[in-house]
Structure 1
Amino acid sequence: MSKKALLIIDYTNDFVHDKGTLTCGKPGQKIEETIISLADDFLSTDDYVILPTDCHKTDDPFHPETKLFPPHNIAHTWGREFYGRLNTWYNKNRDSKNVYFFDKNRYSSFANTNLENYLRSREITDIHLTGVCTDICVLHTAVDAYNKNFNLFVHQNATASFDPVGHEWAIKHFKNCLGAKIV
């Protein structure tokens, strides 16, 4: 039986809350219950829940996103805290051996991180993607996972974007170009 991990990507106040700096707003808020339900399901079956979370410094002149977006997910700020019930869920489950939180500083959860080592050392082959934004960080994570030969599952009702057209395009791309199973 294959081992699996649920990735909850960038589900923070800055990306989801109405007052977030780069919020996807209502589409992101609508997926909250589904994300929590999936996280509970994965833990109940002794699978893994991984929370790769964007982390930046204010006005970092060396980071390419500084030129593209306003400051967001700044370390130690309200904007970087998990949105809504995920914050409570994480605080309740953070000490579980199957819950893993880490900082990321690029769109892909694999770039500049130890995610691949974490997955391979636990013999995880199936990656289930959730979070925001479907057409940015979820997409780049999916492409890297595909290139590293992981089995991909994208939870369409647990991903969101500020751009509905981008969201739909990414879902089709996951299926048609990366062979992901859309669930």
Structure 2
Amino acid sequence: MKALINIDYTFDFVATEGLLTTAEAGQKLHDDILALTRHFVDAGDYVVFAIDGHDPNDRYHPENKLFPAHNVMGTKGRNLYGDLAKYYSEHQHDPIIYWIDKRHYSAFSGTDLDIRLRERNIKEIHLVGVCTDICVLHTAIDAYNLGYEIVIHEKGVASFDPIGHEWALKHFKNVLGAKIV
């Protein structure tokens, strides 16, 4: 069994009017991410939605000083983008689909993701979502440090920083030993 981890593919990060949007770069991923999600579910593999959830009034959270308010708990900004939202709502009770509210860049930081993957004897994780050079990168680094095999779907990741995006793709391959597909 393997896992697909969808990181922050939400309205705020992808929609043109999102509060911290990758805009067109993120929107181009839609069909590939949706198809990949369907493929993993149909194969009976584990699918995780690791989604930022913030409180702009939390004065202790460092991200509130670095970025404008985004993915605020209880707002449409946290909704999955496009048809992925409908797909999730239709399949959210399937035991192979899991939603994680995350507070930090990495899907592993402060969550039970590692425990859930190990319970299922998952050793290979596939990463998609945004931003390539922030949340996807930090998740990949933690996965590497925890001993997972990492697969990055190049048509499934994007950033609002094209240079950071390209740098992260090289880093995944050359430093983390990730397979880029």
Is the pair's TM-score, using the shorter chain for normalization, greater than 0.5? yes
Name segments (4+ residues, structure 1) moved above 4 Å.
none
The 8 Å contact of residues 74 and 80 in structure 1, kept in 2 or not, is answered as yes
Given candidates 157, 160, 169, the residue that maps to 1:159 is: 157
Q: Look up the match of 1:26.
A: 24
**In 2, Cα distance between equivalents of 1:158 and 1:47:** 18
Q: TM-score, normalised by structure 1?
A: 0.98
Distance in 1, Cα, partners of 2:78 & 2:43: 29
Quote the offset at 1:59 in angstroms. Answer: 2.3
| 1:60, distance to aligned residue in structure 2 (A) | 1.1
Q: Report if the CA contact (8 A) 1:59-1:71 is conserved.
A: no
Matched, 1:105 2:103: yes
Partner of 2:41: 43
Percent of aligned pairs with the same amino acid: 52
- The alpha carbon displacement at 1:30 in A equals 0.3
Unpaired stretches in structure 1, ≥5 consecutive residues: none
Q: What's 2:3 paired with?
A: 5
Counterpart CA distance in 1 for 2:167 and 2:66 is 21
Unaligned ranges ≥5, structure 2: none
Deviations 1:100-151 (A, max 9, x none): 0010000000000000000000101100000000000000000000000000
| Distance across 2 between alignment mates of 1:163 and 1:71 | 18
Match of residue 132 from structure 2: 134
1:16 aligns with 2:14: yes
Q: Deviations over 1:52-97 (max 9, x none)?
A: 0000112210100011011111001011111111101100110111
Q: Distance in 1 between matches of 2:57 and 2:21?
A: 19
Instruction: Tell me how large the CA RMSD over aligned residues is.
Output: 0.5
SS at match of 1:124: coil
Q: Distance in 2 between matches of 1:70 and 1:163?
A: 16
- Tell me the matched-pair count: 181
| Partners of 1:4 and 1:48 within 8 A in 2 | yes
Counterpart in the other structure of 2:115: 117
TM score, norm. by length of structure 2: 0.99
* Separation in structure 1 between the aligned mates of residue 57 and residue 26 of structure 2, nearest angstrom: 26
